Structure 1
Amino acid sequence: MIRLHLHLMSDSTGETLENIAKAGLAQFDGVETIKHFWPMVRSEGHLDRVMLEIAARPGLVIYTLVNSEVRRRLETRCHALGLPSVSALDPVIDALSSVLGQVAKARPGRQHMLNAAYFARVEAIQYTIAHDDGIAAEDWEEADIMLAGVSRSSKTPTSIYLANRGYKVANIPLVVESPPPPSLYGLRHPLVVGLTTSPDRLIQIRRNRLLSLAQSPETAYVDQEAVAAELSFARRIFSDNGWPVIDVTRRSIEETAAAIINLVNERRSAQEKDAGDTEAGGAA
């Protein structure tokens, strides 16, 4: 097992760096990573204080700093300490500058400006949290996406991930003993998507959940026949209503969300085409 101190330094929130580091680390096995976050570093004095901490825990430094003096000081200090340092966005910005024929605007945190898209994402997250696990059915029509599936079929984490992409998402568990409200079948605005998985995988996830709660792992919740009946019940509902279905057995949350977003975009394109055909027909 390799132990790595990873220092993520930014002149903004550090969100971009965190995502880059996560994507990079996913390519390696056997690494114990200790992440150190250094956000809002915008002055040489602040940098000097951070460098004292980095020197005490040497490792790889990845940064996004636009101030040339602060960058130069960081690179000099890292070189003196024998530490590798990488400017995460330079290759992308250089390529864009070349293609666009423009010089990049050196504004710290420019990608995180509070614009309409930011507030829409916040609203989506708030809506999604308030409509988890079948709550507030009276507001489901406001959702962009409705996820349906049996317990532990990754509805909630997928909903939160989609909310972070700006989609309002509600979800509902499908329970044999407690059928969903009729309003679920009359939704017009949200795209309703069914999530399913293999019985063996579902039982494994449920067993782990019970063990984490210090509950007996031998209940109907993980019984092979009962689980198969639940999944069959859900599949009938999906089929009867013509909802698209995604099997999450071998998908990550990100992959499931990407598939759902593709379905949303396909539906939107079809609706726009239908609207265009209707207008053309009316004009004729």
Structure 2
Amino acid sequence: METVQAAKEVNGMIAFTLVVPELQQLLLEEAGKAGIPVVDIMGPMIDGLSRLFQREPKREPGLVHRLDEDYFRRVEAIEFAVKYDDGRDPRGLLRADVILIGVSRTSKTPLSMYLAHKRLKVANVPLVPEVEPPEELFMIDNKKCIGLTIQPEQLNNIRRERLKALGLTSRANYANMERILQELEYAEKIMKRVGCPIVDVSNKAVEETANLILDILRKGGTAV
């Protein structure tokens, strides 16, 4: 082996992190023949962890780099979700893997962050009767868009609690039932215009809704 020969020429030693048993054995044998000292850096730790967790190591080269790639993709997706949250920049809709649309307090932001941890680039757009949706919303593939709706009574309760947390009166128009019905009706019209699947988030945890969305995406945008 070239490595063993190079170490022999400089009277050196070999420290290695090989995870494939056959390669480990080959290196140990060749180094032993040449009288080169060797140190297995990761072997004892892997063996110790294997005994502790009673699981066999995968012994696949390159897993660390694959984990790094996965980590950076997740970070990129999270940064994307933050940048294009709440319709801040409609240009992000054309670059997103998923676009969430719905009225205020339908969990658009929490869902965006949850899906970002699944390495999906998510943008979301609030639907408000007085504000025309960005034209980019009608340019995207409708299979990438998910409409979020909710039962009026539950939305009313959520908005009342939100106002209370902000120190505002629950009589504000934001929590007015007539206003809520108007918003939901408007949002439904926009969703039908886009032609996207619609998910009812009523009484659902973020994780549950996110799994529904992922299932829809896997099925190619089938409505639920």
Q: What is aligned with 1:194?
A: 147
From 73, 94, 102, the counterpart of 1:141:
94
The alpha-carbon deviation at position 113 of structure 1 amounts to 6.5
Are the aligned partners of 1:141 and 1:189 in contact in 2 as well (CA < 8 Å)?
no
Cα distance in 2, alignment partners of residues 202 and 111 from structure 1: 45
1:114-153 → structure 2 map (5 Å cutoff):
114-153=67-106
Equivalent residue runs for 1:60-79 within 5 Å: 66=49
| Maintained 8 Å contact 2:143/2:196 | no
Deviation at 1:105, TM superposition (A): 5.2
Asked if the contact 1:134–1:173 (Cα under 8 Å) also holds between the matched residues in 2, the reply is yes
Q: Distance in 2 between matches of 1:262 and 1:214?
A: 39
Percent identity between the aligned chains?
A: 38
**SS across alignment from 1:127:** helix
The alpha carbon displacement at 1:267 in A equals 1.6
Against the structure 1 CA distance between its residues 203 and 238, is the aligned structure 2 distance closer, same or farther, given a 3 Å change threshold?
Answer: same
Contact 1:153 1:197 in 2 (8 A): yes
- Residue 178 in structure 1 maps to residue 161 in structure 2: no
Give 1:114 shift: 3.6
Question: As a proportion of its length, which structure holds more strand?
Answer: 1
Matches of 2:115 and 2:125, distance apart in 1:
15
Partner of 2:180: 227
Q: 1:104 to 1:152 in 2, by over 3 A?
A: same
* TM-score for the superposition, normalised by structure 2: 0.70
8 Å Cα contact 2:142-2:195 kept in structure 1:
no
Letter paired with 1:213:
L
Q: How many residues align?
A: 173
Q: Secondary structure at the match of 2:146?
A: strand
C-alpha distance in 1, partners of 2:137/2:193? Answer: 13
Change (3 A) 1:250 1:120: same
The answer to whether the 8 A contact 1:143-1:190 is kept is: no
What are the superposed Cα offsets for residues 181-232 of structure 1, whole Å, 9 maximum, x if unpaired? 1221111387010000000100111111111111111111111111011001
Higher gyration radius (CA) = 2
* Helix, strand or coil at the partner of 2:220: helix
Q: What stretches of structure 1 move > 3 A for 4+ residues in a row?
A: 110-114
Distance 1:145 1:127 in 2: 11
Unmatched segments (≥5 aa) in structure 1 = 1-64, 72-88, 94-102, 269-284
Deviation by residue 1:129-152 (Cα, 9 ceiling, x = unmatched): 111000111122110000000000
Tell me: higher relative CO, structure 1 or 2? Use CA pairs within 8 A at least 6 residues apart: 2
Aligned residue for 1:123, secondary structure, equals: helix
Tell me the C-alpha RMSD between the 2 structures. 2.5
Distance 1:114 1:219, change over 3 A: same
Runs of 5+ unmatched residues, structure 2: 1-47
* TM-score of the aligned structures, taking structure 1 as reference length: 0.56
